[in-house]
Chains A and B, each alone.
Chain A
């Protein structure tokens, strides 16, 4: 018993698994299914999937022109046919493949191909609807009315544009009306006098088109690959699909492409390769795709779409900064750590170009080993030129470097391009600046003068600093201290004041203060202050005298990266009204005396000789 049940179950399963490929379905029709229209020459081929047609030869000399076609099925040669456009324009192979030649012109054969097959033609449009006696069902120009029920049938009256037809239907009966619709009675409920009916119509393909490209911006020297996706959203397969691609600028590699069939709810992707246009300013161009396909009856369906794509200029400049973070005081092989700037100039055109590249740095960066940040450059076709230079920072902080610019000429026009990204650089570290000054640059002997040392950490890292000053021989410290050690936080200052005195007249140069430091990153450095001059006279200078004191300021960081020299001329005494008046009187008297010499001498000579 168990074996019987199991055998029955296996039989049922096998029954369901075997497709009813050859089972007749009222929705299918045995027709010559249109496979597509082709225009091929000698050596070319037309593909319908299982069948391939190759043109063996074309005889244009004969009247009418003729050709020999080779038929391949599943890549195996099967037969050859002599065709022309008149009496031999129809050829059938194996009762399932038909060729219909339309014309033979210019060495090309135009023909249509058909496959004899069962094709799903009728598609349900009005689902199962219940009708009782007298009830109407309207479908377009058609009206179906139940006039009555027989023993096993139902009587339906169909009216269409004044034509009235009455027919009896049993369960499962259907009728095709003008090849437009198929009316079917699904089931008749005799007890309730109800008829369940369905209406079918011929299916049709529906082509949906989409163009896909990954980025929207391309360089002019790269081929652009578009995926043109054709989807059949219709109810029957579409065959003989032809895709035509065109661009508003540039060139398409293969403007016409074919595919034999797209089933319902299936899609096929055509790959369209475009060579973009080459322009100095970059441009937008449009790819237009037109697709045409045919249903089983040879009716054509079409759709089109377009996509805009941006192509950059054929010249491009790129600016790279390394590293992104720099320590102000770190030494690498005896040199201060520097920012490496790399400018890459790309010429994507197929001709040589001469460009002028210009770059700018923030004020706090000093370029190394370059006279100016301008470079003329010759870039060969489809190649890249590179400029590299180094710059050292003098301040801490976050800096945004402006883009590099490039200038070139074409056809007497000047074009410019900027590097795309602004570079960002972060400079860290302690920046120790020391300044030394005197309360007076001119003093008398045994007169006190205060020396002030101001040490400022202008960086963004705390530092342990050590200040050590010294005085020249002949000067002694009579108050305060000339050294200090401790922590100096970022942004803070430390002042040291001490008093000196000397008994010796003359000019003294008080040397630079050396400040050595170690920041929190354990990076060491040192800084020097300016030097100052002290003039010592016998007595203190009185008001009214004119003395110019020159102060030379020299500031050096530990890495010898910055040297600033400034000279100030300061008048230490003011002009008074009496001083000026005295000066004017004495000047006048002097001039008078000098100018009087000549006439007085002449007067004396004349008086002595003639009088």
Chain B
């Protein structure tokens, strides 16, 4: 294993991941997806030899050489991770921001409940000798 190739791969994939996460947080999920997909694809189209050589660099062989791990695989791992993050971010955002259902309390009712609970606690405190 060439340590310089590993460090270079870590650096490239780290920059790529940070860029996608920055876009997700600062801009939008859609922009993050676009960056995540098109940056590698455009790179392949613009510099095919360099990028293909980079992506096909083999880091190690698993299972007695039967499973090679190269940068293509690592790119797919990162993609799947980032896609998962973006999808569940969107899903949770939707879930938390959705309207309340018919069986749930309104905001004023929740506030009344909270106030009643607070009064009960205060009265108990005052009754103490």
Q: Which of B36, B51, B91, B99 has the most CB of A within 10 A?
A: B91
Query: Is there a chain B Cβ closer than 8 Å to A75's Cβ?
Result: no
Tell whether A595 pairs with B48 under 8 Å between CB atoms, given A581-B41, A584-B40: no
Bin chain B's interface residue count.
20 to 34
Residues of B contacting A591 with CB < 8 Å?
A: 76, 79-80, 83
Query: Is there a chain B Cβ closer than 8 Å to A22's Cβ?
Result: no
Contact with B48, one of A576, A596, A610, A611 (Cβ below 8 angstroms)? A576
Contact with A577, one of B48, B76, B101 (Cβ below 8 angstroms)? B48
Determine if A575 and B52 form an interchain contact, defined as CB atoms under 8 angstroms apart: yes
Determine if B76 and A599 form an interchain contact, defined as CB atoms under 8 angstroms apart: no
Residue on B nearest A596 in the bound complex, by CB: B87
Determine if A595 and B83 form an interchain contact, defined as CB atoms under 8 angstroms apart: yes
Query: Is there a chain B Cβ closer than 8 Å to A569's Cβ?
Result: no
- Complex-state Cα separation, A569 to B80, whole angstroms: 32
Residues of A contacting B83 with CB < 8 Å?
A: 588, 591-592, 595
Give residues of chain B (8-52) contacting chain A, Cβ–Cβ below 8 Å. 36-37, 40-41, 44-45, 48, 51-52
- Complex-state Cα separation, A72 to B54, whole angstroms: 112
- Complex-state Cα separation, A483 to B95, whole angstroms: 81
Determine if B41 and A585 form an interchain contact, defined as CB atoms under 8 angstroms apart: yes
Query: Is there a chain A Cβ closer than 8 Å to B84's Cβ?
Result: yes
Determine if A584 and B94 form an interchain contact, defined as CB atoms under 8 angstroms apart: no
Query: Is there a chain B Cβ closer than 8 Å to A333's Cβ?
Result: no
Q: How many A residues have CB within 8 A of the partner chain?
A: 21
Query: Is there a chain B Cβ closer than 8 Å to A76's Cβ?
Result: no
Determine if B48 and A580 form an interchain contact, defined as CB atoms under 8 angstroms apart: yes
Contact with A580, one of B55, B84, B94, B98 (Cβ below 8 angstroms)? B55
Residues of B contacting A584 with CB < 8 Å?
A: 40-41, 44, 75
- Complex-state Cα separation, A602 to B37, whole angstroms: 25
Determine if B52 and A595 form an interchain contact, defined as CB atoms under 8 angstroms apart: no
- Complex-state Cα separation, A25 to B90, whole angstroms: 147
Contact with B87, one of A575, A588, A595 (Cβ below 8 angstroms)? A595
A586 to chain B, nearest CB (A): 11
Contact with B90, one of A576, A594, A599 (Cβ below 8 angstroms)? A599
Query: Is there a chain B Cβ closer than 8 Å to A603's Cβ?
Result: yes
Query: Is there a chain B Cβ closer than 8 Å to A606's Cβ?
Result: yes
Contact with B along A556-600 (1 / 0, CB 8 A): 000000000000000000011110110011011001101110010
- Complex-state Cα separation, A153 to B79, whole angstroms: 145
Query: Is there a chain A Cβ closer than 8 Å to B113's Cβ?
Result: no
- Complex-state Cα separation, A610 to B76, whole angstroms: 36
Residues of B contacting A594 with CB < 8 Å?
A: 80
A577 to chain B, nearest CB (A): 4
B37 to chain A, nearest CB (A): 5
Residues of A contacting B101 with CB < 8 Å?
A: 610-611
Tell whether A587 pairs with B87 under 8 Å between CB atoms, given A576-B48, A603-B94: no
Query: Is there a chain A Cβ closer than 8 Å to B56's Cβ?
Result: yes
Determine if A577 and B44 form an interchain contact, defined as CB atoms under 8 angstroms apart: yes
Give residues of chain A (380-437) contacting chain B, Cβ–Cβ below 8 Å. none
Contact with B91, one of A578, A592, A599, A610 (Cβ below 8 angstroms)? A599
Residue on A nearest B48 in the bound complex, by CB: A577
Contact with A along B70-98 (1 / 0, CB 8 A): 00000110011001100110110011001
- Complex-state Cα separation, A584 to B36, whole angstroms: 11
Interface residues of A (CB under 8 A from B): 575-578, 580-581, 584-585, 587-588, 591-592, 594-596, 599, 602-603, 606, 610-611
Can you list 9 A-B pairs, Cβ within 8 angstroms, ordered by A? A584-B75, A587-B76, A588-B36, A592-B83, A595-B84, A595-B87, A596-B87, A606-B98, A610-B101
Interface residues of B (CB under 8 A from A): 36-37, 40-41, 44-45, 48, 51-52, 55-56, 75-76, 79-80, 83-84, 87-88, 90-91, 94-95, 98-99, 101
Q: A581-B41, A599-B87 are known contacts; what are 7 more A-B pairs with Cβ within 8 Å?
A: A575-B52, A575-B56, A580-B51, A588-B37, A595-B80, A595-B87, A611-B98
